Chain A
């Protein structure tokens, strides 16, 4: 079985966040880069799938030189192959552009049975790339997966559970599939020191736009179909007002205020 994992490097949002308000982006230079936490669950799911069904894992990412770190972490956890998709033309890509690059990479890898992704990234938080990749490739889109019940590579079938509001949806779908996983689907394992050291010495292969056969006009800032118009920090929430006194008096005050604010007539 061939298993692919899409990993993204994101800034550590638990640290202090600085905004470049005019450009509408994060100021990333002061921030620690980490692996997108949701992608860690995806990677662990890939490792578990390999343990259960045998196969190879390929991890891919789209990002600048620094993004090699997430691939090294993946190598330290014993994935078999990694690739970094990088090109100047990719800079400024929106979700669809990113998805088309990843899709091209997956096509280049070839014979992929299942792709694991995190449900969203902690910087953009859009949560659509996995579904877009599936749409571009024509593969089964399985999002918000809380458990993978069974993968039958021979018969090209996969059965998963999806977490939906109010319950669990069980879906059987055709392979190949793009599976985006939620937090808590598993407990990501930790790399041991030997793995880290070996990974540190590995050279990470790169694919650029030509290697992937991607149209440069359709990716990056040039090919973006969405644009960030404005970023603003919400105004600080004001202190609330605590009303004390008899219940009837409070009720009257509240009604008056709501009428003043034109919430009720």
Chain B
């Protein structure tokens, strides 16, 4: 290495080394020791808090988990849904990373410089850290502009955050100033290509005042170093000791590591159901440790709030707010719980004080929040756990929920209609009427299990290919009975041998489960599984994404393993294989509404679009919020069965979004969505110009 640079690196120690070196080394060691102590205490406190919660196994598939962490941390994959915030965070992250890399290498120059000449690596390290500083300043500037001047509604700015910004900026500035001073005091006399490896500091060096004598200059270098190092050290200490936004450095990657590897929207059963003394979550330690970690990993970014249909329709629910409130609750109550022995604990209830009832029931379980969250927080199961406690233990819920649960218990459908009426939708699908003039079932058809010429009970079909699970909406709701009818016509036209369970079909259990009545869900589901196993059902076709999701993804928890296919996938297969020919054109513009449980939960986006593209004459226009960002119709989470008293009606908001596309048709694949949008069109007075159809109805029209 050239003599000049070596001088630059070693010159500073010439005078001070002899006197102050022991103190410097002592200080370095002390700081490292202290920082380690702070870090360990940080971990210890957080670990203890998390382990207040119940057990959960999240250590499976480590390779996939590590891959996700690396992708999220270094490529920021979950951030790029929004360009400006994604870019600014990317810059800040990489800027700080570069600075750290550069600094750590630089730290090694001290011991090395005393013994050996430094290597070229220090030049590169210096360059990297300078560029890092620039990136951090750029990103930081963008962040400050956004947070303090644009002030988007989802950002909450407390004074701690301002402190972090100022502190960080000061550190960056003082960092450049040290180098600048040293260049000014020592290095300018040594010609070198400063611009190539310390560009910013070189600029800064022009502004620095220096002193006449060498020892004084050297003293001032150390002075400047202290102004940089002590605040840096104190910042680290601050990050570890107090609650502050920067703790997300550690907590967020950890949370991403332990994320759920299952599909979204799959609820966990209550463990140990037979012996359990309590159900759901009443107080904070009833959550699992991962759910408690979720609370602490929340960076208060508010992306969830920006996509939540309840929040956007002025309900008291904001997922971010709930997480933050639960986090505060954990931090308040956790230490109290930890300091009392388990049998003497009197934990405070979460409901009422931390989470309001209207807030909790407003959730439609649409998973938009989980989709938007950059650090993979699981809000849905947390909400349902609270509901389980309210329903199963406190029995505290509104009268419409009570009626729905009662109907489900008595009549196995949410409307409370008699079980015997479940097959009425199919009675006209053939030549022989099922009921005679007095309304009694034609005895012949009742005995033979034939509902109509077209629709048979599964057990009566010879060599059936598939069970058509009609669902409660398709069976009882007038608008959706037409969808079931269309589906039957399609099945007949394609020559598929299918059967229905008829009056033995019970509700799939989705309303009960999402409302929180896990017991009712289990009894219903186990009965359904028993019936289907008895008939040797292998493949199930569903009309409804909620039935689809629960039959496919949640019934296996109770021993029901079936091959479940949603009618959009089924139709796509039929069309693609040529078994179904679509010839009649529908010359209209259509917009497709992605259902939450078809799209976000089961990642089925293409099949419905392929179907629409196969119908001649249809022109597909997408709404702004489509695919993963689709906006819930408002009926999920059991809300189909609850009254909407507060704020704007969610279904009207979605209908407005559809109207904005100027399409004449809205295509759906879900009976809830169909009902909601159908009502929405009526409520908005657009029944003359717009209509909502299920995709099977459109296929039927085009056959």
Contact residues of A with B, CB < 8 Å? Answer: 12, 14-16, 30, 32, 34, 189-194, 196
Contacts and interface: CB of A to CB of B under 8 A. Distances in A.
Interface stretch (B88-96, B412-420, B492-500, B542-550): B412-420
Nearest to B402: A190
Given A32-B410, A34-B410, A196 B519 contact: yes
B519 A15 contact: no
Nearest to A189: B395
Contacts of A193: 279, 392-393, 519
Interface residues of B, number: 16
A193 B270 CA distance: 13
A192 B395 contact: yes
B420 A30 contact: yes
| 5 nearest A-B pairs in the assembled complex, by CB-CB distance | A190-B395, A16-B418, A193-B392, A15-B418, A192-B393
Contacts of A15: 410-411, 418-420
Nearest to A33: B410
Contacts of A196: 519
B656 interface: no
B420 A16 contact: yes
Interface string B277-289: 1110000000000
B441 to A, nearest CB: 10
A194 B420 contact: no
19 contacts: A12-B411, A14-B416, A15-B410, A15-B418, A15-B419, A15-B420, A16-B421, A32-B410, A32-B411, A34-B410, A190-B395, A191-B395, A192-B392, A192-B393, A193-B519, A194-B277, A194-B278, A194-B393, A196-B519
Contacts of A34: 410
A192 B418 contact: no
Interface in B407-449: 410-411, 416, 418-421
Contacts of A192: 392-395
A151 B17 CA distance: 95
A173 to B, nearest CB: 33
Interface of B: 277-279, 392-395, 402, 410-411, 416, 418-421, 519
B434 to A, nearest CB: 14
A220 to B, nearest CB: 30
B444 to A, nearest CB: 18
A20 to B, nearest CB: 13
A15 B393 CA distance: 29
Nearest to B396: A190
B388 to A, nearest CB: 9
A56 B325 CA distance: 43
A196 B523 CA distance: 13
Given A14-B416, A16-B420, 6 more contacts: A15-B411, A16-B421, A32-B411, A190-B402, A192-B395, A193-B393
A196 B419 CA distance: 24
Contacts of B418: 15-16
Nearest to B439: A16
Contacts of B392: 192-193
B188 to A, nearest CB: 80
Nearest to A15: B418
Contacts of B419: 15
Nearest to B421: A16
A30 B411 CA distance: 12
Contacts of B420: 15-16, 30
Nearest to B394: A192
Identify which of A190, A193, A196 gathers the most chain B CB atoms within 10 Å of its CB.
Answer: A193
A147 B479 CA distance: 44
Nearest to A32: B410
Contacts of B277: 194
Nearest to B518: A193
Contacts of A16: 418, 420-421
Contacts of A194: 277-278, 393
A122 to B, nearest CB: 13
A218 B662 CA distance: 78
Contacts of A12: 410-411
A189 B393 CA distance: 12
Contacts of A189: 395
Contacts of B402: 190
A196 B276 CA distance: 13
Nearest to B278: A194
A163 to B, nearest CB: 22
A55 B667 CA distance: 61
Contacts of B395: 189-192
A12 B419 CA distance: 12
A14 B413 CA distance: 13
A12 B417 CA distance: 11
A241 B355 CA distance: 58
A196 B402 CA distance: 16
B504 to A, nearest CB: 13
Nearest to B503: A30
A30 B402 CA distance: 24
Nearest to A34: B410
A41 B533 CA distance: 41
A34 B279 CA distance: 26
A191 B392 CA distance: 8
Nearest to B407: A14
Nearest to A187: B399
B357 to A, nearest CB: 16
A192 B278 CA distance: 10
A193 B520 CA distance: 10
B493 to A, nearest CB: 33
A240 B605 CA distance: 54
A55 to B, nearest CB: 23
A190 B409 CA distance: 13
A261 B660 CA distance: 62
A192 B405 CA distance: 13
